[in-house]
Structure 1
Amino acid sequence: MAQIVIVGGGAAGMLAAGTAARRGQAVTVVEHSKATCRKVLITGKGRCNVTNNCDAATIMKNTRNNPKFLFSALHAFPPAATMELFESLGVPLKTERGRRVFPVSDRAVDIADALAHYAKGCRIVSGDVTEVTAENGAVTGVKLADGAFLQADAVIIATGGLSYPVTGSTGDGYRFAESLGHTVVPPRASLVPLVEKGNTCRKMTGLSLRNVNLLVRKKGKKVFSEQGEMMFTHFGVTGPLVLSASAFIDDADIDEYELSIDLKPALTEEVLYTRITRDFEKYSNREARNSISDLLPSSMVPVIVARWGIDPDKRTNQITREEKLSLVSLLKDFTLRLAGKDIVEHAVITAGGVSVKEVNPKTMESKLVQGLYFAGEVLDVDAYTGGYNLQLAFATGYAAGQAAGE
C-alpha cells in the first residue's frame, strides 16, 4: 500500500484524495485551514457553480491559459463525470443559464460535504507544510511546522493560488514547486473586481444592476460583451459580469480600456425614446432631476442627471428632442474609465502558477521529480467564469489521484 500525501484540502485536493483512496492507497490530506473546502463554500455566492454542462472541448475553449495541456485530463474526467459523481454522492444538480451547474439545494456546503464523503477513509491533518522533501530525484515526504515528518511515496500539491488567503490559499504551493526545481509563471489576478478612474461608482456604492449588458472596449474595439448582473462598490465595480470581463483586460495597458453599460438592453433606442417621452409627459411639471425615477434606481438618478449635462431644475416639459436623445444615448452607453484591477487576494482565480511544460498532462506528475504531482489552481491554467475553473480542479485532481494511486 503506497503512502500518498496531498497538500491542500480544496476541490482538487479532496477529489484527488478520494480517487487515490479508492485505488487502495493510504492517503493523508494536510490542510492549512481548520476545515477542508473553504473556498468551495464561497463560490457562486455560496451556491457553488460546480461545473458547466458541456463537453470537454467547450471547457478547453473557455480556458484562458494552456487549454491544450488539459486535453487528456478533461477527456478522462469531463463535466458529465463531475455531475455523475456528485449525484452519486447524494447531491442532485440543476443546469441554469449559460449551462452553469448548481446543486438543487443552492447550498455550496452540500458540495463540500460530498467531497468530504468522497474522501472518507483518508486521514485529514490540520497543519502547515513547511517543505516537500525529495532525494535522488524522487519525493520522500513532507515536513510540518510542528516538526512532524510524513513519509510519502507520492505527494500531490493542490494548494490553490493566491486568491482569498482567508480560505487557505497562501501561495505556498509555488514555493514548494520552486524549491524542487520547477518554474513558476508569476501569479496574477484573474476574475477580479475592477477599479474605476474617478469617483462615479463611489456615489452608487452597494447598488446592484440586473439584466444589464456590459461591454468592454479597447481603443474603441469590442473585446467583451455579456448580459447579467454587476454591482457598484466604493472603488469600482464587481459582480459576475465584471469578473468575467476582467479576464479580457490586460493590466499593462489598462488606460486603453473602457467599460460601457447598457442599462436598458431589452429596449432599442427608438423604444427607449418613446418610453422617456411618455414619462416626461406624465411628469411634465417636474424638474429634470425628478423625471427619470421610473427608469432608474434612486441612487443612480443624480449620477445620470449629472452626466446628462442639462440644468437639473429645468422643467420636463421644456426638455428638447435633442436632450431626450442625449439621455437615450447615456442610458444605452454609460461609460466608466479604469484605473486597474483589484488586488490578487480579492480575485476569484489566480492566473499563473507551476509551468505546465514541466508537468505530464496525462498524469499531472512532475517531469522533474518522480512521485510529485500538481492539481488545481496551483498550475498555470485558468478559465472564464461559468463553472469552468472548478471543472479544471476536478479533472486535474482526478488525473493526479488516479496516477498517484497506481
Structure 2
Amino acid sequence: MSKIIVIGGGPSGMMAALQASKNNHQVTLIERNGELGRKLKFTGGGRCNITNNRDIEDFFEKIVNNRKFLYSSLYSFTNRDLLDYFSNNNLEYKVEIDNDYKVYTKNDKSIEVIEALNKDLIQNKVKVLYNKKVVDIIVEECENYNLPTVKGVVLENGDKLFCDKVIVSTGGMSYSHTGSDGSMYKILNKYNHTINKIYPALTPLTIKESWVKNLQGISIKQVEISCKIKNKKISKVGDILFAHFGITGPVVLIMSSYINKVLENQDIALKIDFLPQITEEEISKAIRENPNKNVLNNIKSLLPQNFLKEIFNILSLSDKKANELSKSDELKIIKYIKSMELTCNGTKGINTSMVTSGGVSVKEINSSNLESKLIKNLFLTGEVIDVDAETGGYNLQIAFSTGYLAGISV
C-alpha cells in the first residue's frame, strides 16, 4: 500500500483518487474549495455533458491539440466504460441523438454526477481535505532513481504532507472563479516542466464590424463557418448566436479552439454560410417563388426576419415585390446569405473560455501512465496538460480517462 495525494477535486482528480483507492492505496484528495466538482457544476449549462456517445475512435478527430498523446488514456477508459461506471453507481443518463450524440444526466442536473462520485469516494475511504490550497510540491534527489522524486506537498498554511506519489489534477485557467487559476503551472515550471503558452479555447469571438451589434440576440441553427490559416481551410458547422461584441454559440466556440493562437498576431477573415444545406439556385427560386409578394415574405421560412432585414440594411436595399427586384440585388442578397464575411479580431479571453489550451508539455509526460518524465512518482491529468477538444462532452471524457489511467498507474 502506497500513500497517494491527489491535488484537485474536479472530475479528473476524483476519478484518479477513486481508482488509486480501489487499487488498495491510501488516498488523500486535496481540494481548495469547500466542495468537490465546482467547475463540473457549470458544464453543459448546468446539465453536465458527461461524455459523447460516438464510437471512441471518433473522439480523436474532435481533439484539437495532441490527440496521439491521449490514445492510451481514452482506450484505457472509454466513454462506454464511463457510462457503465455511472450506471453501476445508480446515475441515469440520456443520449441526445439530435444534439451531436451528447450524453447528459437524465434529470439534466450536474449535481447528480458530483453526488455519485462523492458517494463512491466515501465508500472507498478516500480522505478529502477541503479548503486547502497546495502551494508547492516536495521534490528530493533519490539514490534509487536517476530522476528527482516527489515526496509530498506543501499547503498554504505551511503544513507539509508526505506521501509516496502525487497526482496533479488542478485544471487549467478557465473559469478561474472555480479555483482553476493556473497557480500549479508556476509550481511545475519551477521544477523544470515546460508550460506551453496558455490560450482560451471554446470561447466567444469578437468581431471588428460594428454593425454586428445590430444582430444581437439573433440565433441561427446549423450555419457553416470557415476560414483559411496557412492555406489550410478550417470549416465547422453548428448553431451561432450574435452578441453585442461579436458571435458565440457552439460552432463559434469550436472554431475559437482552432484559431486562438493565430489571433494573437493577426485578424482572421471568417466566412459564414447561413444556409449550407441549400444551394444558391434554391435561394433564388425561393426569392422569386411568389412574384407579387415581397422578397422578405418569400424567404421568411429560410432565416429569421430580423436577420434578413438587417442584411437588407447593410446592402442598402429596401424590401419590395419579387418581380421588382433586380438580378444584381438578388445576387447581393444571396451572396450575403451564403458567404457573409466577418473580421475576427480576438476572443473574449480565458475567463469566458470553457477550457484551457496549453499547459504542461506532453513531451514531458509518459502517455502510457501519465507519469512525469522529469520527476519520479509525479502524475498529471486533465486540463493541466496541453490537451483540449471540441465541445460535445469530449473534454470531460478526457478528464475522466486521464484521471482513471493515472489512478490505476500509481
Establish whether TM, by shorter chain, passes 0.5.
Answer: yes
- Are 2:10 and 1:10 aligned? yes
Counterpart mapping for 1:6-405 below 5 A = 6-95=6-95, 96=97, 97-120=99-122, 121-125=125-129, 126-136=131-141, 137-218=148-229, 222-226=233-237, 228-252=238-262, 255=266, 257-278=268-289, 281-283=292-294, 296-310=303-317, 312=318, 318-404=324-410
Offset from partner CA, 1:198-248 (integer Å, 9 cap, x none)? 22322222322223333334588631131x212112211111110111222
Structure 2 runs not aligned, ≥5 long: 142-147
Once residues 291 and 61 of structure 1 are traced to their aligned partners in structure 2, the CA distance between those partners, rounded to angstroms, is: 40
Once residues 295 and 135 of structure 1 are traced to their aligned partners in structure 2, the CA distance between those partners, rounded to angstroms, is: 66
Structure 1 runs not aligned, ≥5 long: none
Q: Residue type of the partner of 1:91?
A: L
* 1:66/1:296 CA distance change after superposition, 3 Å: closer
Counterpart in 1 of 2:144?
none
Q: Residue type of the partner of 1:378?
A: V
Indicate conservation of the 8 Å contact 1:193/1:347, yes or no: yes
Offset from partner CA, 1:338-390 (integer Å, 9 cap, x none)? 11222122211211111122222122111222221111010112222222211
Offset from partner CA, 1:124-164 (integer Å, 9 cap, x none)? 22221111112222222222222332222211111111111
Indicate conservation of the 8 Å contact 1:10/1:40, yes or no: yes
Once residues 373 and 315 of structure 2 are traced to their aligned partners in structure 1, the CA distance between those partners, rounded to angstroms, is: 60
Match of 2:91, SS?
Answer: coil
Moved more, 231-240 or 290-299: 290-299
Moved more, 229-238 or 60-69: 60-69
Once residues 279 and 29 of structure 1 are traced to their aligned partners in structure 2, the CA distance between those partners, rounded to angstroms, is: 68
Indicate conservation of the 8 Å contact 1:219/1:256, yes or no: no
Instruction: Report sequence identity in percent.
Output: 35
Q: Residue type of the partner of 2:175?
A: Y
Indicate conservation of the 8 Å contact 2:272/2:341, yes or no: yes
Deviation at 1:169, TM superposition (A): 1.1
What TM-score do the two structures reach when normalised by structure 1?
Answer: 0.89
Deviation at 1:91, TM superposition (A): 1.9
Once residues 105 and 29 of structure 2 are traced to their aligned partners in structure 1, the CA distance between those partners, rounded to angstroms, is: 25
Indicate conservation of the 8 Å contact 2:260/2:347, yes or no: no
Deviation at 1:291, TM superposition (A): 8.2
* 1:22/1:279 CA distance change after superposition, 3 Å: farther
Moved more, 251-260 or 68-77: 251-260
Indicate conservation of the 8 Å contact 1:164/1:346, yes or no: yes
The alignment yields a C-alpha RMSD, in angstroms, of 2.5
* 1:313/1:362 CA distance change after superposition, 3 Å: closer
Counterpart in 1 of 2:145?
none
* 1:224/1:295 CA distance change after superposition, 3 Å: closer
Offset from partner CA, 1:271-323 (integer Å, 9 cap, x none)? 2223223466334xxxx88987665435424421122232x376765322332
Q: Residue type of the partner of 2:310?
A: V
What TM-score do the two structures reach when normalised by structure 2?
Answer: 0.88
Once residues 376 and 345 of structure 1 are traced to their aligned partners in structure 2, the CA distance between those partners, rounded to angstroms, is: 18
Match of 2:253, SS?
Answer: helix
Match of 2:259, SS?
Answer: coil
Q: Residue type of the partner of 1:319?
A: L
* 1:352/1:303 CA distance change after superposition, 3 Å: same
Once residues 280 and 4 of structure 1 are traced to their aligned partners in structure 2, the CA distance between those partners, rounded to angstroms, is: 75
Once residues 209 and 330 of structure 2 are traced to their aligned partners in structure 1, the CA distance between those partners, rounded to angstroms, is: 26
Report how many aligned residue pairs link the two structures.
398
Once residues 276 and 363 of structure 2 are traced to their aligned partners in structure 1, the CA distance between those partners, rounded to angstroms, is: 44
Deviation at 1:396, TM superposition (A): 0.9
Once residues 158 and 350 of structure 1 are traced to their aligned partners in structure 2, the CA distance between those partners, rounded to angstroms, is: 14
